[in-house]
Amino acid sequence: MNKKLITAAVFAGLFASPVSQAENTQTYNIPLSRPGDPIHLDADLSSGSIRVIGEDRDDVEIEVAGSGGERRIITPSGAKPIPVSSYALDIEEEDNQIEIDTEWGSGTVDLTVRVPRRANLELKTVNDGDISVTDVTGSLDLDNVNGSITATGIRGTVIAETVNEDIIVELLEVTSDEPMALENGNGNITVSLPPDFGAELWMTSRQQEIYSDFEVELRPNEPVFKRDQQGNRIEFELEQKIIALINGGGTRVTLETRQGEIHIRKVMN
């Protein structure tokens, strides 16, 4: 099945008018152009949760659950409720690259995606949902605004950012020297690392404590002075990162939260 046929089939299935959330759940199995090779999944939602599960499989299964918001038809005799809002879903697969995009008038769209274990992920959602990933080997780029981010059983690298709720990341193995970053506005950050992993931690926790299962070697660091001018308004900010080495140093890992705590744990075998 080529890219155009996948997209058309998904649209045809979604424009029915189910009357309950259970009936508004659809499942699609997407064949891969190169079964057995790593995939790249890019999913972008405006409202809803994304759950990705790594499995021993050669295709991708996507379950879509839509829940309607409150919509009404206004008539001369009064307002009549519409049971379910409509939404549009676009899924494209080409050369093991899978893109999922949704357009939603009201309510949420929740995705559960079952993928081969070797998968690079770019996942983004804004409102009314969390991001969770389990048992995946690859590069993860996870972006949320008003929900949590959880990634467990990961072999690879992780970049994660959210404004509200917590970030929890468990790395069983780090497979690259590429820098990693976990950034949070108002929640806690918990990262579990292999016991022998060497890292240079760049940390900012403005109001709470930092807890580490690892012994650390603190390094001196000069404060960073930032100047931002917008029109006639000038803003100055003085910020100092905490630099700590674990196991002699290595991969740079940025851990930043304004309101929350930072927890650095050892992966338990």
Question: Is residue 12 predicted with pLDDT exceeding 60?
Answer: no
Q: Of the given ranges (66-80, 98-112, 204-218, 237-251), which has the lowest mean pLDDT?
A: 66-80
Lowest mean pLDDT segment, chosen from 70-84, 163-177, 187-201, 238-252: 70-84
Type of residue numbered 214: F
Q: Of the given ranges (67-81, 88-102, 103-117), which has the lowest mean pLDDT?
A: 67-81
- The pLDDT-based confidence of 18 (bands split at 50, 70, 90) is very low
Distance CA 31, CA 56 (A): 14
Residue bearing the bigger pLDDT, 83 or 21: 83
State how far the Cα of 199 lies from the Cα of 246, in Å rounded to an integer: 5
SS3 137: strand
Q: Give dist(CA 20, CA 105) in Å, integer.
A: 17
Residue 250 CA from chain centroid, whole number: 25
d(CA 211, CA 206): 14
Rounded to the nearest 5 degrees, what angle is found at the Cα of 14, between the Cα atoms of 11 and 18?
Answer: 165
192 contacts 263 by C-beta, under 8 angstroms? no
pLDDT attached to residue 68? 60
The residue-averaged pLDDT of 126-136 equals: 95
- First CA to last CA across the chain, in angstroms? 42
Identity of the residue numbered 132: S
Pairing of the two strands 71-75 and 87-94: unpaired
Q: Are 54 and 113 in contact (CB under 8 A)?
A: no
Q: Where are the alpha helices (DSSP H) in 184-245?
A: none
Q: Where are the domains of the chain?
A: 3-195
Region of poorest pLDDT, from 95-99, 140-144, 240-244: 240-244
Give the closest residue to 88 by CA, choosing from 72, 73, 105, 71. 105
